[in-house]
Amino acid sequence: MTTQAPSARGARAVIRAALLCAALLGGAAAARGQGGCTAAPEYLNYLKEKLALSPSGPLLERVYERAKFLTDNCPQNGDGWYYRHLIEKRLNRPAADIGFSLRKAEYYDAPALKAGLNPLLTQKPPEQAAEELPATVRDKWALVVGVGTFKNLDARNGLKYAAKDARDFAVALTDANYGRFKPGNVMLLTDEQATLQGIRTGLGWLRANAKRDDLVIIYFSSHGTSREMDPNGVSFIVAHDTQIDAGRKKENLFATSLEMIYLVYFINQELQARRTVLFLDTCYSGDAVVTGGSKSLEEESPVGGYSEPLRALKSGAGHAVITSSRADEVSLEDDRLSNGIFTYHLIKGLKEGKGAQPLEQLTSGLRERVNAEAKRLGRTQNPVVQLSPGAEKIVLGVQPQGR
């Protein structure tokens, strides 16, 4: 999430940002002790995120216990039975148990079963993860989303420059001098367009058009929920129509926000393109968890506050995740720049390098500039970069060869 830079007005905006995140967190402690169907959405998210990391041994057994708890306390939850079925297959449980859970999933019309989703397949097979990226890019596609107004939030919780950030970034991508994206290959969604359905439609557009040797950019500027805001550590991107009820109805947040684990599944399993760059300019998009003080921030969690679901992207070649800040930081906006400082310097770096810098070079300069800008404002903000094998060589402004 972006928030106003310090000053009298900026300080109030920072406080409002903290209050919003506190509101999202509200009720989480109470939800931790809830069982049965009341807490079913959180349990389902827990299962999907943990399974996406391909757990094994004791961890998979613990996930299995959570699945059993869900189906025992909410036996009509079809997806709970479906995920239990998948885990039982992985654990080589008796065939009778595996068959029973599958029949239950079918009986209760499990949506995940009908859609053919399998979080255990979020990671790419080893042969795909190790393959070399092609030397050229056939074509380029981008989904750019900026949400500054929210249907179900007070106007004071809006973001001044989020939609403008998205528009400016889309313009930069389609500029013939450094972005070199065809205008028709960039879908821009701002404010009222950026509903959950609108965002999913945009992802579907990428799915239908981007081919194997293409480059895809996905950009979000909006509010985001950190893992600490959910009783089971689930992270979401907030859409224009997301329902936020001070944490009292987590099922509404689950039903009307974009789950990070869905985005991971989409990139790894639904998107054909082997070069994908994900930019997240959202609240607390980086993770600042330090275990026992023995690890640095980036060593502990290199891809940020969405780290657990996004960790699954590391298994594939050509994946890049760039977040605007660590989890203990807000992502600042600045009236002097008329942008969020992350997006402003992302665009500036792209322009100065004529779009020709490898991603590793572009992001290195981005981190330095954002950090320096934040210090000027009396704050701290540190973008976090995760590059899987081959992603460091991605050039955003590369000239496609398929034209």
Give 234's pLDDT tier (boundaries 50, 70, 90).
Answer: low
| pLDDT recorded at residue 87 | 92
What confidence score (pLDDT) does residue 233 get? 57
Q: Do the beta carbons of residue 263 and residue 319 sit within 8 Å?
A: no
Q: What is the mean pLDDT of residues 247-264?
A: 73
**Cβ distance 201 to 188 under 8 Å?**
no
Q: Per-residue pLDDT for 246 more than 80?
A: no
- Model confidence band, residue 289 (pLDDT cutoffs 50, 70, 90): very low
How high is the pLDDT of residue 261? 73
For residue 97, give the H/E element and its range: helix 95-107
Q: Residue 300 pLDDT > 50, yes or no?
A: no
Predicted TM-score of the model (pTM): 0.73
- Band of residue 84 on the pLDDT scale cut at 50, 70, 90: very high
Percent of all residues in the chain with a pLDDT value above 70, rounded to a whole number: 73
What pLDDT is stored for residue 17 in this prediction? Answer: 40
| Architecture of the domain made up of 133-393 | 3-Layer(aba) Sandwich (3.40)
Buried b (16+ CB within 10 A) or exposed e, 110-142: bebbeeebbbbbbbbeeeebeeebeeebbbbbb
**Over the chain, what is the mean pLDDT?**
78
- Taking a C-beta distance cutoff of 8 angstroms, is the pair 112, 51 a contact? no
> How many helical (H) and strand (E) elements, i.e. helices and strands, does the chain have?
16, 12
Sheet holding 140-146, edge to edge: 186-190, 140-146, 215-222, 275-282, 319-323, 384-387
In order, the DSSP letters of 262-302 are HHHHIIIII---SEEEEEEEETT-S----STT-S-HHHH-T
Judged by average pLDDT, the poorest of 5-19, 38-52, 96-110, 168-182 is 5-19
Question: Hey, which of 93-97, 184-188, 336-340, 365-369 has the most confident mean pLDDT?
Answer: 184-188
Q: Which of these ranges, 19-28, 124-133, 195-204, 391-400, has the smallest mean pLDDT?
A: 19-28
Distances, alpha carbon 259 to alpha carbons 61, 279, 296, 310, 342, in Å:
24, 15, 27, 11, 23
Sequence-distant (6+) residues with CB within 8 A of 224 are: 1, 235, 236, 237, 238, 280, 282, 283, 284, 285, 305, 306
Return the pLDDT at 82: 93
Structure tokens at 136: 């050229």
Mean pLDDT, rounded, for 130-148: 87
pLDDT for res 396: 97
Partnered with residue 219 across adjacent β-strands are 144, 279
pLDDT at 76 over 70: yes
Q: Considering only 6-10, 140-144, 261-265, 272-276, which range has the smallest mean pLDDT?
A: 6-10
Q: Which residues contact 195 (CB under 8 A, 6 or more apart)?
A: 239, 240, 241
Give the least confident one: 43-47, 84-88, 140-144.
43-47
Cα separation values, 220 from 151, 263, 281, Å: 18, 12, 6
Kindly tell me if the per-residue pLDDT of 21 is higher than 80: no
Q: How far apart are CA 191 and CA 199, in angstroms?
A: 11
Q: What pLDDT, on the 0 to 100 scale, is given for residue 191?
A: 96
Q: Is the pLDDT of residue 55 over 80?
A: no
Of the pLDDT bands very low, low, confident and very high (cuts 50, 70, 90), residue 198 is very high
pLDDT-wise least confident of 121-125, 276-280, 297-301: 297-301
Q: How confident is the model at residue 56 (pLDDT cuts 50, 70, 90)?
A: confident
- 84-93, 107-116, 288-297: the lowest-pLDDT one: 288-297
| Crossing angle (nearest 10°) for helices 40-52 and 57-73 | 160
CA–CA separation, 388 vs 359, rounded Å?
11
Rounded Cα gap, residues 263 and 48, in angstroms: 12
Q: Which of 20-29, 216-225, 259-268 is least confident?
A: 20-29
pLDDT mean over 118-129:
55
The answer, yes or no, to whether residue 174 has pLDDT greater than 60, is yes
Q: How does residue 312 score in pLDDT terms, banded at 50, 70 and 90?
A: low
Domain borders along the chain are 29-122, 133-393
CA–CA separation, 165 and 133 (whole Å): 30
DSSP 310: H
Q: What distance in Å separates the CA atoms of residue 5 and residue 160, rounded to the nearest whole number?
A: 11
Higher pLDDT, 37 or 83: 83
Choose between 115 and 209: higher pLDDT.
209
